[in-house]
Structure 1
Amino acid sequence: MADMEQPEEIQNQTEENSVEESEAAQEMPTIEEQLQSAISERDENQDRFLRSQAELDNARKRHQKELAQMRQYAAAPFIQDLLPALDNLKRAVDAAESADHVDELKRGVEMVAKQILDVFAQHHVKAIEALGQPFDPNLHEALQQMPSDEYPPMTVIQELEQGFILNNRVVRPSKVIVSSGPTES
């Protein structure tokens, strides 16, 4: 029986281990407590997710509304810059009624045209140079071909409507007449 008896040291360790295990068991939450904690955490995460989703939707709607307003009023600065030219054009028309000299009227209208072109330049709009240039279907719209001894074939010999480019994109091509080459005798 002496063999069966444990030394006192081992017996004390075993008792300490069982005390620690019982304390650890008391500190460990039960399965129900773990389940309730997990459910609570899930509900909090779900609530945070739904709130974040709602905030994102609201931000998206607000952004779309702002973009629509920007598009609606995007031309306002351009129009404000053109209004003085329109005022000057009206003055030129009024002056034409009492003008004795056509030269004065012509000079006034030319000033208004220059003012409009200056506003275009401020807004990155450039006139397309067409006269005497080789025909380019990206910049020109040929309305007609005419024989010309002065210009080689496929060269713009007359501009009927001036074209314009905005930031390297054609807003309106120049409407032109193109040379078909020398006249046949």
Structure 2
Amino acid sequence: MTDQEQPEDIQNQTQESAAAETEAVENSTSVEAQLETALAERDENQNRFLRSQAELDNTRKRHQRELAELRQYAAAPFVQDMLPALDNLKRAVEAAENADNVNDLKLGVEMVAKQILDVFAKNNVKAIEAVGQPFDPNLHEALQQMPSDEYPSMTVIQELEQGFILNDRVVRPSKVIVSSGPAEN
């Protein structure tokens, strides 16, 4: 090997070493840049997640407030429908104080009762049919049992208080007297 070759080899090795160092520095810079990008992306995702959680929590709370308000004022339309009937009932009471004719008073009260039943019907409240029907413990509350020649055993013979159903659910059962069958002599 000549002296000229040696310095070239050393020079090549130095250049290769410098190139390797430059590549290592560039790789290191590239890895650092990737790491910084990944960290920034992680932070952004974390912030998005926290904002989403807060938004979900706020939505849930708003929904609960709205439901509570709906429950609180759910009866308002029904009350508004009942107010005219109450007004007419008050008028009937005032008329009764000055009335000489009981039939007019009776007619006024019957009109108010019909008005109330119309409001019930408008709000899906139905009266339970009782008299002449077989006793049903889901619809009727038996207060008494009496012998009856007119009705068979376990048939409603008299209604003491009318029952009502709201959308297929019993609001109040009919309070009734039930037949025990024909009277024994």
TM-score (norm 2): 0.84
Q: Within 5 Å, which residues of 2 pair with 1:23-62?
A: 30-62=30-62
Partners of 2:156 and 2:88 lie apart in 1 by 33
Match of 1:16 in 2: none
1:83 counterpart residue number: 83
2:182 is aligned to: 182
Return the offset for 1:26: 5.3
Q: Match of 2:139?
A: 139
Q: Distance in 1 between matches of 2:29 and 2:164?
A: 78
Matches within 5 A, 1:84-163: 84-163=84-163
Quote the Cα distance in structure 1 between the aligned partners of 2:88 and 2:33: 84
State the secondary structure of the residue aligned to 2:184.
coil
State the secondary structure of the residue aligned to 2:160. Answer: strand
Q: Which amino acid in 2 is paired with 1:63?
A: H
Deviation at 1:31, TM superposition (A): 2.1
Structure 2 equivalent of residue 64 of structure 1: 64
Write the distance in 2 (CA, Å) between the matches of 1:93 and 1:101: 13
Opposite residue 47 of structure 1, the aligned amino acid is: N
| SS of aligned partner of 1:133 | coil
Separation of aligned partners in 2, 1:52 and 1:183: 76
Query: Aligned with 1:106: secondary structure?
Result: helix
1:171 equivalent in structure 2: 171
Could you tell me the TM-score, scaled by structure 1's length? 0.84
When structure 1 is superposed on structure 2, of 87-96 and 35-44 the one drifting more is: 35-44
Structure 2: runs of 5 or more not aligned: 1-21
Change (3 A) 1:29 1:163: farther
Runs of 4+ residues over 4 Å off in structure 1: 25-29
Aligned CA RMSD, in angstroms, stands at 1.8
Q: How many residues align?
A: 164
**Residue type of the partner of 1:115?**
Q
Secondary structure, in 3 states, of the residue corresponding to 2:129? coil
Deviation at 1:29, TM superposition (A): 5.8
1: CA distance between counterparts of 2:49 and 2:29?
Answer: 28
Q: Which runs of 5+ in 1 are unaligned?
A: 1-21
1:35 to partner: Cα distance: 1.6
